[in-house]
Amino acid sequence: MPKTISKQAAFDELKKRYAKAENLLNDDAKVETFLTKLERKIKWIPFISKELKSVPTLIGMLRSYWKKDYTKVPFKTMVAIVSALLYFLSPLDVVPDWIPILGQLDDALVIGTCWKLVNDDIDAYRKWKAKQGKAKH
């Protein structure tokens, strides 16, 4: 039976996807397709941890960045977020998603690792998003 990955392995998995994430961020057509696939996946994934519950926030941040609504974020932060989302979307990662619970735990570890790396930028985005909601009322 496969075991979960270590924190270092989660970080390594994140870094492995940086180049692909950069390419994706520079191609508007690919970003839209990527966001659609992510939104489909989060509809059926069992949110078993707080890290996976944060995926919609990461998707929202990517969408806001892509639409150029929110651009006060370093490009390297967006690369890390997209790298984590690429890992999350992949059905065949270190522990395949079809393996109950363990398949989602490795996703959660990679998402959590990313969150820790870019936490300040995510907090700034959440504050900006809250102000946007208040401005609409």
What pLDDT digit, counting tens, does each position of 29-70 carry? 899 899 988 887 776 665 555 556 788 899 999 999 999 999
pTM for this predicted structure: 0.73
Domain boundaries, the chain: 7-136
Tokens of 65: 């960045």
- pLDDT per position as a tens digit, 77-122: 999 999 999 988 886 665 666 566 666 777 778 888 899 999 999 9
pLDDT of residue 2: 45
CA–CA distance, 93 with 137 (Å, rounded to integer):
43
CA–CA distance, 41 with 134 (Å, rounded to integer):
30
Residue whose pair of structure tokens reads 């870094």 in the numeric block: 15
Of 20-29, 99-108, 126-135, the poorest mean pLDDT is in: 99-108
